[in-house]
Structure 1
Amino acid sequence: MPERLAATEAARTACMAELDALGAVYETGAAVDDPDVADCGIVHPVTLSEVLPDVALTPPAPMRCETALALARWTRDFGQPAAERLGRGALTEIRLGTVYNCRGRSSDSDTMSEHAFGNAVDIMAFGFADGADVAVEPREREGTMAEAFQDAVRASACLEFTTVLGPGSDAAHADHLHLDVKSRRGGFRLCQ
């Protein structure tokens, strides 16, 4: 279990209090680990099912509280306002791909992925009140509203997350947004 990622009790309590204030729906649970790989795991996971009131996270997924909080803040501050401009009604769903997964990075299998620590989420699509969705995918620069929405949420994610990868970053991220809260020296952010 990666003890270096264990939050103090005070930090965990503060994080969950902020999630509560934002109206997130989540459950706490037992530590998540992999008996075969000691470096993987989430010491105190939260399983988030609604990132904000009426914005479902599907499927619900275990992650570190810090990851859940970054996702909730970003959705409130950028995802919902961008959705309003799209003209499809309110943002009602964020569809996830990989969240927790004990594995190496796609670009370097000897280095653990941030998914192995509960620090990362992969977003596949966004759903709206009118029943439409916007899948994350390579865009042809056609000037569509779906393209503008994807560009806006991707660019804004770098204000809340420390790593943002997506279509055009590399082949492994062609169909989703990878967002993580990896801690780096000097506050460096990797946004591609």
Structure 2
Amino acid sequence: MSVAFGTQSPGRRALKWFGLAAIVLSIAACGRYAYERREQWRSDLESRCMASGAVQMSRYVQRTNAINGPGTCGMDYPLRVAAQARGQVSYDRPQTLACQMIPTVDRWIDNVVQPAAQRWFGAAVVEVKAGSYSCRGIRGGRSGRMSEHSFGNALDVFAFVLNSGHTVVVRQHWRGETAESGFLREIFVRACDHFTTVLGPGSDAFHYDHFHLDLARHDPRWTRRVCRPRPETVQMLQPSSPTGGFGWGFGRQGSFVR
């Protein structure tokens, strides 16, 4: 069957319109990204932190080039962090973080993680297996509300390595009644005193194997915190000796739990 010159089959017409639609959507997306801007409070927070001297450049913390995009992703003053707590606790790989996260993680390690490690194991944490900057939505991908990871304002913690050589893994040790689970629950609950968002196993399907820690602004006054599972629902344990083991203890709200 012959086709008259200048006419197109339905299939070719469909492909033509599909191609035009793709071009239009691409142009629209480029235009949208061109006008997207990060929220001003993020830049303000970074600038104040850098100006305060709270973070000093060293062989463990180094400045890198500003990250701008795609979209709103990025940081004005990204920092490449090889270790926290004055170099005493290294990362399994360097992390890219915004300035304000670094002293907050330091305080959590100094005031919560290390004392808990001494109580539960008679040891010190020397390495954290973690993840940080990633331009993505809170559910992965690029759609929906952007994750705090997109701005270097979050840290995912998967495991802790002790100077004894023992490794405490969130995915493996959160459940149960062991020294490892007692340690993890203690540092999780007390992380809520340092970060504005703390998510862990039981919060949703995405955090079954790690702690998510961030400094998101949940309200204009910075008073609201999101901690899931809620601290009062976390079953707390009490170490019976610095070599491990557990006993009876008090929950966060004073309820007697095991």
Rounded to whole Å, the distance in 2 between the matches of 1:70 and 1:9 is 16
The 3 A distance-change label for structure 1 pair 24 and 137 is farther
Rounded to whole Å, the distance in 2 between the matches of 1:163 and 1:103 is 17
In the alignment, structure 2 segments of 5+ residues that lack a partner are 1-36, 229-258
Of 40, 46, 49, which aligns to 1:11? Answer: 49
Instruction: Name 2:16's counterpart in structure 1.
Output: none
The 3 A distance-change label for structure 1 pair 61 and 134 is same
The SS at the match of 2:203 is coil
Instruction: Name 2:214's counterpart in structure 1.
Output: 180
Instruction: Name 2:112's counterpart in structure 1.
Output: 78
| TM-score, structure 1 as length reference | 0.88
Rounded to whole Å, the distance in 1 between the matches of 2:215 and 2:201 is 19
Rounded to whole Å, the distance in 2 between the matches of 1:71 and 1:9 is 18
Instruction: Name 2:133's counterpart in structure 1.
Output: 100
The 3 A distance-change label for structure 1 pair 24 and 184 is farther
Moved over 6 A (4+): none
Q: Is 2:190 the counterpart of 1:156?
A: yes
Rounded to whole Å, the distance in 2 between the matches of 1:139 and 1:10 is 38
The 3 A distance-change label for structure 1 pair 81 and 112 is same
The 3 A distance-change label for structure 1 pair 73 and 140 is closer
Letter in 1 for 2:139: S
Instruction: Name 1:31's counterpart in structure 2.
Output: 66
| TM-score, structure 2 as length reference | 0.66
User: Which has the larger Rg?
Assistant: 2
The 3 A distance-change label for structure 1 pair 19 and 83 is farther
Percent identity of equivalent pairs: 33
What RMSD in Å do the two structures reach over aligned CA positions?
2.3
CA contact (8 A) 2:174 2:184 kept: no
Q: How does 1:103-122 map to 2 (within 5 A)?
A: 103-106=136-139, 109-122=143-156
Q: Is 2:73 the counterpart of 1:40?
A: yes
The SS at the match of 1:148 is helix
CA contact (8 A) 2:199 2:213 kept: yes
CA contact (8 A) 1:19 1:72 kept: no
Rounded to whole Å, the distance in 2 between the matches of 1:176 and 1:140 is 9
Rounded to whole Å, the distance in 2 between the matches of 1:65 and 1:18 is 8
In the alignment, structure 1 segments of 5+ residues that lack a partner are none
Q: Which moved more, 1:136-145 or 1:52-61?
A: 136-145
CA contact (8 A) 1:88 1:130 kept: no
What is the CA-CA distance between 1:69 and the residue it aligns to? 1.6
The SS at the match of 2:189 is helix
The SS at the match of 1:171 is coil
Rounded to whole Å, the distance in 1 between the matches of 2:139 and 2:156 is 13
Instruction: Name 1:90's counterpart in structure 2.
Output: 124
